Amino acid sequence: MRQTDRSRQLFETARRLIPGGVNSPVRAFGAVGGQPVFIQRGEGAYLYDVDGNQYIDYVLSWGPLILGHADPSVTEALAQAAAAGTSYGAPSELEIELARMIMEFMPGIEMIRFVNSGTEATMSALRLARAFTGRTQIVKFDGCYHGHADMLLVKAGSGVATLGLPDSPGVPPGAVRDTLVAGYNNLESVQKLFQAQSEQIAAVIVEPVAGNMGVVAPVSGFLEGLRELTAREGALLIFDEVMTGFRVAPGGAQGLYNVTPDLTTLGKVIGGGLPVGAYGGKVEIMGMVAPAGPMYQAGTLSGNPLAMTAGIQTLKQLRDEAIWQRMEADLITLTEGLGALARERGIPLQLAQVGTMFCAFFAEELPLDWEGVKTCDTERFASYFREMLSHGIYLAPSQFEAGFISAAHRDREVQATLQAARGALESIKNSAA
């Protein structure tokens, strides 16, 4: 058993100072039992906690550390940038360079605005969609998360798309009055909303690969249908690629599936893991953003030199297709190996993998939507999580979160993970006997 005395002490102290002892709820390990480990440092594919334990990390700051922790080229560039000043509150050439690099990967983005987070990016993109169309309503999907802005904290209906209700205390009903909820991978549910009120819907926002209910890929024709429907009805299609951007493919989900949205939102991966986000799209739409146009949006730290520098260094490396090919190949080896180990032990485990994202669902069938995801055996996942953690494998502490691999993970880490999984799944099998 690993010693975690220091982590336990710090968690007790943190709970007296910070709500729940954490600054993001899932970090509290509430869904899997136990208490969170406190991290001291990260290096490559590994995390090291305050008690000296080492873990192979498949969370990677919830996705953006695609090069791994403390990549030498990124940290060296950051040190030089910090010595020149951490924030200017004024334009720098770095913003132009990163903007051009992002457009190189995603040609559908013709103009871009940097912000400070994914939540800010999606909130701004939806405001822009309303401004551009002159309409008020938006459509989101059951199980898709787009940040914690009031209008997006909406729970879905029971299968059929319905008008949403607040999903959190403190969100007034009026804030989500114009937010409609459809079923992910259910094009018919979106069509019904447009049939009822097409002239009021400004935009459809979607995670093109749902990454906040595990990893759920779009079924054939779903994204293409959304593109056709929104174009026909005069609404905008927004791809929330905060998670999928540079993760499912170098050009994001829009490149992988060859579907170009009107607007795209991006997250911390474009800043090498530093706090940053962006939204961008067609010139005619982005031209409405202040000061070029009347839709106001601003941020003091937007485009700060540290995030821009880390992003430039990260995207430079992602130009190398060999890095991508190796990451995907290693992840396929991992997911296929996990599946084989589970089958050998008669454990229903479904592996989803798109690009460098993956999820292990404890379910009889691979989920295609939120209703399917909710049938997963969360207690069995919690047991699996705790066993893997005890063997030095750091997974997301929830059945409903995605996992990630990085360029720093190699066959050594993959094989060590499979060895740990062999023991974890054997323990699960024995406990069920």
**Distance from C-alpha of 266 to C-alpha of 243, rounded to nearest angstrom:** 7
**Distance from C-alpha of 317 to C-alpha of 73, rounded to nearest angstrom:** 9
Q: Give yes or no for a contact between 214 and 399, defined as CB atoms under 8 angstroms apart.
A: yes
**Distance from C-alpha of 178 to C-alpha of 160, rounded to nearest angstrom:** 17
155 is catalytic: no
Residue environment code for 238-259, b if the CB has 16+ CB neighbours within 10 A, otherwise e:
bbbbbbbbbbbbbbbbbbbbeb
Question: Annotated catalytic residue: which of 46, 57, 262, 268?
Answer: 268
Tokens of 189: 């549910």
- CA 161-164-165 angle, 5° bins: 145
Whole-Å CA distances, 112 to 16, 177, 245, 280 = 41, 29, 14, 4
374 is catalytic: no
In which residue are the tokens 């950051």 written? 78
Whole-Å CA distances, 405 to 45, 68, 105, 291, 414 = 8, 8, 20, 39, 10
Residue environment code for 89-110, b if the CB has 16+ CB neighbours within 10 A, otherwise e:
eeebebbeebbebbeebbebbe
- In which element (H, E) is residue 357 found? strand 357-361
**DSSP annotation of 47:** E
Sign (positive or negative) of CA dihedral 346, 348, 353, 359: negative
Q: Count other Cβ atoms within 10 Å, centred on residue 319.
A: 12
| Short-list 262, 238, 306, CA closest to 84 | 306
Tokens of 399: 């059945």
Question: Annotated catalytic residue: which of 49, 57, 240, 330?
Answer: 240
Backbone dihedral region for residue 154 (phi beyond 0: left; psi -120 to 50: alpha; all else: beta)? beta
257 is catalytic: no
Q: Count other Cβ atoms within 10 Å, centred on residue 295.
A: 18
Tokens of 191: 């069509």
Question: Annotated catalytic residue: which of 58, 145, 184, 394?
Answer: 145
Tokens of 401: 């979160």
Which residues are known to be catalytic?
A: 145, 240, 268
